[in-house]
Amino acid sequence: MNDYRLTYHLAPRQGWLNDPNGLCVHDGEIQIYYQADPDSLTGSCRKCWGHFTTTDFRHYTDCGLAVEPVERFESHGAYSGSALSLDGQLHLFYTGNVKEPGDHDYIRSGRQHNTIHAVSQDGLRFDQKQVVLTNADYPDFCSCHVRDPKVNPTADGYEMVLGARTLDDEGCALLYRSCDLQQWRLDAVLRSATKMGYMWECPDLLHFDQADVLLCCPQGLKRQGYRYENVYDNGYFILHGDEARTYRTLDHGFDFYAPQTFLDPRGRRILIGWLGLPDTDYTIPTKTWMHALTLPRELRFEDGRLKQRVIEELRPGPALTEAVKQTKAPETFVLKACPQGALTLTIDGLKLVYENGLLTLDCSQCGAGRTRRHVELDKLDELELYLDVSSVEIFINDGEVSLTSRCFFDDSVRNVAASCNFTLYQAPRIEIESR
Ligand code: FRU
């Protein structure tokens, strides 16, 4: 069966995957957890945490499920969260989702979003769980949607950001602080001066030398021209005190959501996203597994914005072609080009066009219902594209702009053609073994 399996991305052996969770380094290994539901292709109410580890981003161990929602305070899912490694112990913070029986809209009532602290030595099983915040602890102006804690160490303790929806249907993030990981005190409400959607999911707070950046996924942004074309956006604000300003979309493709970052042992800020998006009107035709994580990307803050580049461990291998304008290619490759102006690039039914300051990703001939996505761009100097069977990640102008999408082709040979010279390189390789 052609199930469109990716070859150099992390994906579940079977069943469902969504957000990356708990990214950190513990016991000398990089821990990559994710929202998992091995028994479902649609992501039911029983969200668990799946788990991969690696030391080099090339060899991975699939460790199976690390967290399962077995307690009453998480009865409808161990939702997204983050991890901290401290003195040989791994601390997780995540949302215990509870849906109370009865007649509820589950926005104003009937839902509990408990912030849970779980501890483990080995990172493999988390049986010690404790609720540190409940809906009663969140500010009165919040609805019952307060979730996805991201915890960071600070100079004098710990900070935690939570995504929230207010009773007035406005997205914001709550910033808590703690000295001991047990008692959490609300320190600030991070919000935009004008409403930016009704809910901010999966926040992450990044402290660069030049700026503090709030990464989050605002739900409910109205489409404005070529902006916010997806059902839910993903992006970042620059923080000025408590005020979240200058929002920018991070990735403009069809399938990107809930990115999370961590600092790796070399001090790099690494981002992994969900190569997927909830509640879309397009589909994924895979039969045994659903969704994947994006390639790990190194984040930099330059010229007032975030830039992303695939980490060097997963850079392309040797060249497969000379500089050409047309070639046949395998199902996985990396393409590089320096168009310096207008561009038309086709990979079978996938089309990337740049003209008159507008970049268009056209998946209408290979996208299981996907159509077109756009980005306004002053120039297109440089392009790097990672194709992996049924996914594409495109980085423009040294990672200033990215577009991530699923794309589905019928056979195993790709016809690649462009209006400028391009070179194909061997795709990165990874190995995954089961624990
Ligand atoms: C984002 C999200 C999170 C939630 C999780 C549940 O995709 O909705 O807000 O914690 O997925 O799986």
Q: pLDDT tens, 297-317?
A: 999 999 999 999 999 999 999
Cα-Cα-Cα-Cα dihedral sign, residues 179, 184, 185, 189: positive
Residues 284, 344 within the same domain: no
Residues 288, 321 within the same domain: no
- Residue 62 has a pLDDT of 98
The atom of ligand 1 lying closest to the CA of 201 is 9
Q: What whole-number distance in Å separates Cα of residue 305 and Cα of residue 301?
A: 5
The atom of ligand 1 lying closest to the CA of 278 is 7
What does the CA dihedral 181, 204, 305, 30 come to, rounded to 10 degrees? 80
How many domains does the structure of the chain reveal?
A: 2
Ligand 1 binding pocket includes 46 (Cβ within 6 Å): no
Residues 324, 297 within the same domain: no
**What is the CA(102)–ligand 1 centre distance, in A?**
23
CATH assignment of the domain containing 398: 2.60.120.560
Domain annotation covers residue 336: yes
Domain annotation covers residue 5: no
The atom of ligand 1 lying closest to the CA of 94 is 10
Domain annotation covers residue 8: no
Residues 356, 303 within the same domain: no
Buried b (16+ CB within 10 A) or exposed e, 129-138: bebbbebeeb
Residues 243, 338 within the same domain: no
Ligand 1 binding pocket includes 18 (Cβ within 6 Å): yes
Cross-strand pairs, 28: none
Among the candidates 291, 312, 333, a domain finishes at 312
Cross-strand pairs, 129: 118
Query: Phi/psi at 74 (nearest 5 deg)?
Result: -145, 30
Domain annotation covers residue 3: no
CATH assignment of the domain containing 275: 2.115.10.20
Residues 283, 331 within the same domain: no
Q: What whole-number distance in Å separates Cα of residue 31 and Cα of residue 24?
A: 5
Ligand 1 binding pocket includes 35 (Cβ within 6 Å): yes
**Contact between 147 and 97 (Cβ < 8 Å):** yes
Q: Which alpha helices (H) appear in 44-104, and where do they start and end?
A: none
Among the candidates 288, 312, 336, a domain finishes at 312
Domain annotation covers residue 7: no
Going from the C-alpha of 99 to that of each of 40, 102, 122, 219, the distances in angstroms are 19, 9, 31, 21
Q: Tell me the pLDDT tens digit for each residue of 160-174.
A: 999 999 999 999 999
Structure letter (DSSP) for residue 140: T
Q: What whole-number distance in Å separates Cα of residue 206 and Cα of residue 422?
A: 35
Q: What whole-number distance in Å separates Cα of residue 124 and Cα of residue 203?
A: 25
Give residue 332's domain range: 317-434
391: Cβ contacts below 8 Å, ≥ 6 apart: 6, 9, 255, 275, 292, 404, 405, 406, 407
What does the CA dihedral 7, 386, 23, 126 come to, rounded to 10 degrees? -20
Residues 391, 418 within the same domain: yes
Q: Which residue's CA is minimally distant from atom 8 of ligand 1?
A: 201
Ligand 1 binding pocket includes 37 (Cβ within 6 Å): no
Ligand 1 binding pocket includes 80 (Cβ within 6 Å): yes
Domain annotation covers residue 9: no
The amino acid at 34: Y
Q: What whole-number distance in Å separates Cα of residue 156 and Cα of residue 140?
A: 28
The atom of ligand 1 lying closest to the CA of 274 is 7
DSSP string, 271-319: EEEEE--TT-SS----SSEE-EEPPPEEEEEETTEEEEEE-GGG---SB
Ligand 1 binding pocket includes 202 (Cβ within 6 Å): yes
Among the candidates 312, 340, 361, a domain finishes at 312
The atom of ligand 1 lying closest to the CA of 163 is 9
Active-site hit among 3, 19, 148, 410: 19
**What is the CA(273)–ligand 1 centre distance, in A?**
12
Which pair of structure tokens corresponds to residue 353?
Answer: 């066009």
**What is the CA(59)–ligand 1 centre distance, in A?**
27
Residues 344, 210 within the same domain: no
Ligand 1 binding pocket includes 115 (Cβ within 6 Å): no
Domain annotation covers residue 71: yes
Q: Which residue's CA is minimally distant from atom 9 of ligand 1?
A: 201
Examine the residue annotation and report whether 19 is marked as an active-site residue of this protein: yes
Q: What whole-number distance in Å separates Cα of residue 290 and Cα of residue 294?
A: 13
Residues 344, 383 within the same domain: yes
**What is the CA(383)–ligand 1 centre distance, in A?**
31
The atom of ligand 1 lying closest to the CA of 217 is 1
Ligand 1 binding pocket includes 19 (Cβ within 6 Å): yes
Write the ipTM: 0.99
Residues 192, 220 within the same domain: yes
Ligand 1 binding pocket includes 148 (Cβ within 6 Å): yes
Give the three-class secondary structure for 267. Answer: coil
- Residue 1 has a pLDDT of 65
DSSP string, 346-400: EETTEEEEEETTEEEEE-TTTSTT--EEEEE-S----EEEEEETTEEEEEETTTT
**What is the CA(18)–ligand 1 centre distance, in A?**
8
Residues 178, 322 within the same domain: no
Ligand 1 binding pocket includes 234 (Cβ within 6 Å): no
Residues 269, 415 within the same domain: no
Domain annotation covers residue 89: yes
Show the low-confidence residues of the chain (pLDDT under 50).
Answer: none
Q: What whole-number distance in Å separates Cα of residue 145 and Cα of residue 199?
A: 8
**What is the CA(326)–ligand 1 centre distance, in A?**
42
